[in-house]
Structure 1
Amino acid sequence: MSAAEPRLSPVEEKDIPEKALAALEPYRNGDGEIYAIWATLAAHPDALRRFLVFGNHVLGKNTLPVRSRELVILRIAWLAQAEYEWLQHVRIARRAGVTDGEIHALGDLAAAGFTGTDRILLAATDQLVARADLDDALWQELRDRFGTEQLIDLVYTVGQYRTVAMAINAFRIRPEPDIAALRDEVPLPAPAAP
């Protein structure tokens, strides 16, 4: 999706209202520039500020282990074919201990050999994305491994990053050069054949 022209352009920093700009302070790359996704969503500054509050919980206060959260986010990025989300979270997942082999395998879970908790979380992600629900057997497997807050955070994580993926795809948000450089290293796996 990244090859298409953006449908919405990132807002120039000088044109972002002060309250929204303050909320975006933590969302800058190594060069001090606001990430393209957030600069694009700054076209609706009040909604952006409110969205960031929820997003800060999901990314920063989440009770799921960071590794688990990142596997879930990368699976959503693959399901949605949201390259920007994929590339951005490859970096975060690596820091959380997810191996490149695991990252590459997220496009084909059957062949990947995920087991235990990872397999259950990824199956839950697929069900939540496809049906906005979980079957009783999978719910019980999750309940046996996670506390109530973690289960709520799982649903919140899937919802938040599904929304982010939709924004990325619908607005055709392009990755910054430093993120796009990961395309060759850890490309977004193609969708499964029907």
Structure 2
Amino acid sequence: MSEKPRLLPVDEADLQEKTLASLAPYRDQDGRIYTIWATLAHHEDALRRFLVFGNHVLGKNTLPLRSRELMILRIAARAQAAYEWDQHVRIARRAGLADETILAAATGARDGLDELDRVLLDATDSLVDRQGVDDGLWDRLIAHLSTEQVIDVLYTVGQYLTVATVINTLGVRVEGEPALPLPGPADLKEVPV
């Protein structure tokens, strides 16, 4: 990640009304636009389009919330995307996940996770590493998921790899104190899939 932000967030006063309307649900508890979205507002047309897809992945996804968050946290840890990590630790906690479960999934530990979460985390690692899954992993996915859910696995991994790339390249910083320290690269286990 860049040592400093490469793009600063756009001031809200400089945004078009249609962009502000699109960003209405993407504000923190104090009413401020989240830093990632204010940073991506340097390209307002693309941001509004990206939010439509992101809204599906985050808000209308057919995967269980718990599973989706574990996948996103694994991506954030592997990519060392601190902003993504911090935001999704907070979401995972609101979804009832304990810090031990969050850290276990993020570092590659599979102990204590149910079979669905293990399959989804294995798929996440395979998609990150190879941009696909082998036949054995495919069979495990379809044994647990509907066709729509399998497609949402692909969309979730793709979306959050994109977000991690944006965060790391543009130098988007965590807002305030981190909710939970991001595991470092040495803490991540290689999980054969």
Q: TM-score, normalised by structure 2?
A: 0.92
Q: Deviations over 1:44-76 (max 9, x none)?
A: 000000000000000010000100110010011
Q: Deviations over 1:120-161 (max 9, x none)?
A: 110100000111100110110010000000000010000001
Q: How does 1:34-49 map to 2 (within 5 A)?
A: 34-49=33-48
Unaligned runs of 5+ in 1: none
Of 104-113 and 48-57, the range deviating more from structure 2: 104-113
CA shift at 1:104, angstroms? 1.6
One-letter code of the match for 1:25?
A: A
Of 83-92 and 108-117, the range deviating more from structure 2: 108-117
Q: How does 1:37-76 map to 2 (within 5 A)?
A: 37-76=36-75
CA shift at 1:112, angstroms? 4.3
Corresponding residue of 2:185: 191
Structural RMSD (CA) = 1.6
Corresponding residue of 2:138: 139
Corresponding residue of 2:174: 175
Q: Structure 2: how far apart are the matches of 1:66 and 1:100?
A: 16
Q: Deviations over 1:4-32 (max 9, x none)?
A: 21000000000111111110011010111
Identical aligned residues as a percent: 62
Corresponding residue of 1:33: 32
One-letter code of the match for 2:8?
A: S
* Matched-pair contact (CA < 8 Å) for 1:10–1:36: yes
CA shift at 1:111, angstroms? 6.7
* Matched-pair contact (CA < 8 Å) for 2:72–2:156: yes
Number of residue pairs matched by the alignment: 188
Corresponding residue of 1:117: 116
Q: Structure 2: how far apart are the matches of 1:132 and 1:142?
A: 15
The DSSP-based 3-state class of the residue aligned with 1:192 is: helix
Q: Deviations over 1:53-104 (max 9, x none)?
A: 0000000100001001100100110110000000100011112222110112
Of 103-112 and 48-57, the range deviating more from structure 2: 103-112
Corresponding residue of 1:92: 91
* Matched-pair contact (CA < 8 Å) for 1:142–1:151: yes
Q: Structure 2: how far apart are the matches of 1:111 and 1:192?
A: 17
Q: TM-score, normalised by structure 1?
A: 0.92
Unaligned runs of 5+ in 2: none
Corresponding residue of 1:155: 154
* Matched-pair contact (CA < 8 Å) for 2:82–2:182: yes
The DSSP-based 3-state class of the residue aligned with 2:185 is: coil
One-letter code of the match for 1:188?
A: L
One-letter code of the match for 2:13?
A: K
Q: Structure 1: how far apart are the matches of 2:185 and 2:114?
A: 22
One-letter code of the match for 1:150?
A: Q
